[in-house]
Structure 1
Amino acid sequence: MKKMQFITSALASVVALTSLIGCDTSSGNFADDVSFMQKHTSIVVLQDGEAAVAVAPQYQGRVMTSTYDVKYGPSFGWINRPVIEKGFLSDEEKKGKLEEHIYIFGGEERFWLGPEGGQYALFFKPGTKFEFSDWTTPPVIDTEAFELVSKTNRSATFEHSTELINYSGAIFKVEIERTVKLLDAQEGAKLLGVELDKNLQMVAYETDNRIINAGTNTWDPETGLLSIWMLGMYNPSPKTTVVIPFESGSEKELGTKVNDSYFGKVPAEHLRVESDKLFFKGDGTRRGKIGISAKRSKGIAGSYDAAGKVLNIVTYNQQDAPYGFVNSMWEHQENPYSGDVINSYNDGSPEPGVAPLGPFYELETSSPAAALKPGEMMKHVQATFHIQGSEEELDVLSRKLLGTSLESIKEAFKK
């Protein structure tokens, strides 16, 4: 019987085992989170004025969290303190625990590689079953540290080399390059194509992520391709709503508006789809995931935290995708290059009586499938913005960037 496990977020795959690691993932402000993390791992802090981001080399150069006020400001990344505090375990210590499959450190932007499932999966070894017991996060995006090769006050560059084997037995020798750059207000405004009111507070950063074919064979669609996959984990709230604008048009021409069946269809009280945009709850109370295809994508996704009056924006470099986007479903796939380019995940209890993993919510983007000749490179650039201010000021940005008013966002699930 064909398994209908529509799972593209490895983090969600382990929700049901949360009780094994506990759920005390509370964080303070940015300064509190950085102080905590520095007790357990190396943290690189990039700063421009009061804006700052905290990056962890040991965790693949991931942005753990960020703020617009380095001393007193909020911490935007979800931090899994129990796992960070515990650190890496021996093979014997990992038995029967989540760390057999993944170390869930948290962090608001991390470097990953796809696909997760399917005949070209990176998370299943050849000959295994597409079942959780056989699912394992590759060490390169789980336990291996990236080397910090250069740093300035506002940027840090990391490098790493690895070899991967996919489910079909294809071998990939990969060079990874990742640069995290903190953007100033002028750079951020230019990238978004907007004017920013001087009263707004913002932290913005851009990551340049590259994979290079370091082997002697061309990466072939017939034996599997890789993609760069960026995932961000944010703190949820009852008043946080994800907003993703998309191209309107017929499904015959552009395909399905929204893929909302990753964990079973998302109910109307958590997802509202209009002709050119969607609203999705980021409250961390119900597990669900949605995706937008490349044909529909406008290259942007966002969320609004009405309680904190914070507009969150994620953009990426849209580029040609002659080989499509990798598909991560846990099954042998009829269309292995029909995956989504933007995703959002909302954490929550997978079943009655079972605690959520975080809770948290995610915004994710992916690069095209990389059919690279030896020495060739695929680049995926993602930018993240957290903007705080009055609703009058933020409404102007929301209308321009997300195609909707703040009032519409706040009222999306009250109708």
Structure 2
Amino acid sequence: MKQLKNLLFALPVVVICSCQQNAKKEQANTVDTSASAAKGTFGYDLAFLQKHDSVIVLKSSDGKAQIIVSPKYQAKVFTSTANGQSGRSFGWVNYKTFDAKPDEHMNAFGGEDRLWLGPEGGKFSLYFKPGTKMEFANWHTPPAIDNESWQLVSKSSDEVTMSKTTEMLNYANTLLKIKLDRIVKLFHRDDIQKMLGINAEYNVAAVGFTTTNIITNNGDKGWDKTTGAPCLWNLDMFSPSEKTVIVVPYHDNATGKVATTDYFGQIPPDRVKYDKGILLFKADGKSRGKLGVPPNRAKTMAGSYDPQNKVLTITLYDVDSKGTYLNQEWTPDKPPFIGDAVNAYNDGPLATGGQMGPFYEIESVSPAAFLKPGEKLVHAHSVFHFTGDEAQLNDIAVKTLGISLKDIQAAFK
């Protein structure tokens, strides 16, 4: 993966993650749903999800690092923990959606890492029928990534492979025949050490996983700038706190704007700041806003810090600085092949007063999949959470994100 090449430092930290196990040994996926797990814990979310699905749990030999994967719910990684069933659940799960009437626009089940396809808007949109006005009433998430089950291809003690075959009609009236494959892998101790250059010591717990996302042109016609082409789109939904801040490092010496900050109206200046290669975005779930960083500015890493719960999150993903990225704005009038590679979103109340969350998102996008029949495009996206001793969390933040926890917390006082 391209993302493996970018972090070559060493740092003492405890990594409570999975150790090698016999690949033939099945994971114990059941819990006592009558047990009184506290809301906000991994055990609570696991018990809830098992009432709706026979989810797959990948976990370390000591049971500390765990993730929940669901072929039924569009191959999502619903959530993870670094401290077993009583530990904090890092993903955001939208409990009310599971028993609600299906929504024609989007069924927001949540999920710490879900796969969508883009573009959302633009002249090659997958979310608007040809000729319709690009407004919410006409916006519909394609069923394959919204409410349809995926096929479970294989599973082992640390890895799950899922697939989906589908067709989507884009705004240019091109029928795209698509095959999607998604491999979810829980990191072992050696994996995290190799990716982040960290050692296993002392007081910080961690969990990490990666998703390898593959799109194949399953038709008999190529996808190009005339027909339009889709892209792979990873979205990570996390629970916010009053003081959570998203951190997006960027190339300071590149040309052009640093970020688009007006996807859903201009983000107020007291909620977003960027200087000297570091963008900071307040993620308290109280003010709706989205931003994006273009591929020539984007680095292969972003993250967030929640000082109230002492949780440092790091995401790693592929970026092609010379790739063609798609414009996802809800208009057919802008150039379709000038878009962002990395996005961040903070949920908040709508104009009507309602709100889906609260949650916040860190997102990565692949370049446009200009593919001939049978060709594939691969996009890798990984997530890590660290929690525990703040001094050690600070060391990780400085050496990965390039900023101290003190400076992150001081940004929006």
**TM-score normalized with structure 2 length:** 0.88
Q: How many matched pairs?
A: 374
Distance, in Å, in 1 between the alignment partners of 2:39 and 2:105 is 24
Instruction: Tell me the CA shift for residue 196 of structure 1.
Output: 4.9
Aligned to 2:303: 302
Instruction: Tell me the CA shift for residue 27 of structure 1.
Output: 4.3
Instruction: Tell me the CA shift for residue 144 of structure 1.
Output: 1.1
User: Is the CA contact 2:296–2:321 (under 8 Å) kept in the aligned structure 1?
Assistant: no
Aligned to 2:152: 148
Instruction: Tell me the CA shift for residue 233 of structure 1.
Output: 0.7
Q: Deviations over 1:101-125 (max 9, x none)?
A: 1101001100100001111000001
What SS is found at the alignment partner of 2:392? Answer: helix
**TM-score normalized with structure 1 length:** 0.87
Identity of aligned residues (%): 42
Distance, in Å, in 2 between the alignment partners of 1:127 and 1:246 is 37
- Match runs of 1:132-281 below 5 Å: 132-249=136-253, 254-281=255-282
Aligned to 1:5: none
Once superposed, what is the RMSD of the aligned Cα atoms? 1.4
User: Is the CA contact 1:321–1:368 (under 8 Å) kept in the aligned structure 2?
Assistant: no
Counterpart of 1:411, as a letter, is A
Deviates more, 1:185-194 or 1:337-346: 185-194
User: Is the CA contact 1:197–1:393 (under 8 Å) kept in the aligned structure 2?
Assistant: no
- Match runs of 1:2-401 below 5 Å: 27-48=39-60, 49=62, 50-86=64-100, 89=101, 99-249=103-253, 254-319=255-320, 321-322=322-323, 324-351=324-351, 354-401=353-400
Instruction: Tell me the CA shift for residue 254 of structure 1.
Output: 2.1
What SS is found at the alignment partner of 1:254? Answer: coil
Counterpart of 1:37, as a letter, is L
User: Is the CA contact 2:325–2:367 (under 8 Å) kept in the aligned structure 1?
Assistant: yes
Instruction: Tell me the CA shift for residue 321 of structure 1.
Output: 4.7
What SS is found at the alignment partner of 2:260? Answer: coil
User: Is the CA contact 1:239–1:305 (under 8 Å) kept in the aligned structure 2?
Assistant: yes
Distance, in Å, in 2 between the alignment partners of 1:281 and 1:384 is 20
Counterpart of 1:296, as a letter, is R
Instruction: Tell me the CA shift for residue 350 of structure 1.
Output: 2.3
Instruction: Tell me the CA shift for residue 273 of structure 1.
Output: 1.2
User: Is the CA contact 1:321–1:369 (under 8 Å) kept in the aligned structure 2?
Assistant: no
Distance, in Å, in 2 between the alignment partners of 1:189 and 1:394 is 15
Distance, in Å, in 2 between the alignment partners of 1:342 and 1:193 is 24
Instruction: Tell me the CA shift for residue 302 of structure 1.
Output: 0.2
User: Is the CA contact 1:320–1:368 (under 8 Å) kept in the aligned structure 2?
Assistant: no
Distance, in Å, in 1 between the alignment partners of 2:263 and 2:217 is 31
Q: Deviations over 1:278-327 (max 9, x none)?
A: 111110010011111111111100000101111101110233654x1111
Counterpart of 1:131, as a letter, is E
User: Is the CA contact 2:118–2:230 (under 8 Å) kept in the aligned structure 1?
Assistant: yes
Distance, in Å, in 2 between the alignment partners of 1:57 and 1:245 is 33
What SS is found at the alignment partner of 2:291? Answer: strand
Q: Which runs of 5+ in 2 are unaligned?
A: 1-37
Distance, in Å, in 2 between the alignment partners of 1:61 and 1:270 is 33
Q: Deviations over 1:69-119 (max 9, x none)?
A: 222101011111011133xx4xxxx5xxxx011101001100100001111
Distance, in Å, in 1 between the alignment partners of 2:343 and 2:183 is 22
Deviates more, 1:35-44 or 1:377-386: 35-44
Distance, in Å, in 2 between the alignment partners of 1:255 and 1:382 is 25
Q: Which runs of 5+ in 1 are unaligned?
A: 1-25
User: Is the CA contact 1:44–1:55 (under 8 Å) kept in the aligned structure 2?
Assistant: yes
Q: Deviations over 1:10-59 (max 9, x none)?
A: xxxxxxxxxxxxxxxx9430011110111012211111131000011111
User: Is the CA contact 2:313–2:386 (under 8 Å) kept in the aligned structure 1?
Assistant: yes
Query: Which segments of structure 1 move beyond 6 Å, counting only runs of 4 or more?
Result: none
User: Is the CA contact 2:122–2:327 (under 8 Å) kept in the aligned structure 1?
Assistant: yes
Distance, in Å, in 2 between the alignment partners of 1:278 and 1:179 is 30
User: Is the CA contact 2:296–2:322 (under 8 Å) kept in the aligned structure 1?
Assistant: no
What SS is found at the alignment partner of 1:85? Answer: coil
Aligned to 1:412: 411
Instruction: Tell me the CA shift for residue 193 of structure 1.
Output: 3.3
Instruction: Tell me the CA shift for residue 178 of structure 1.
Output: 0.3
What SS is found at the alignment partner of 2:334? Answer: coil
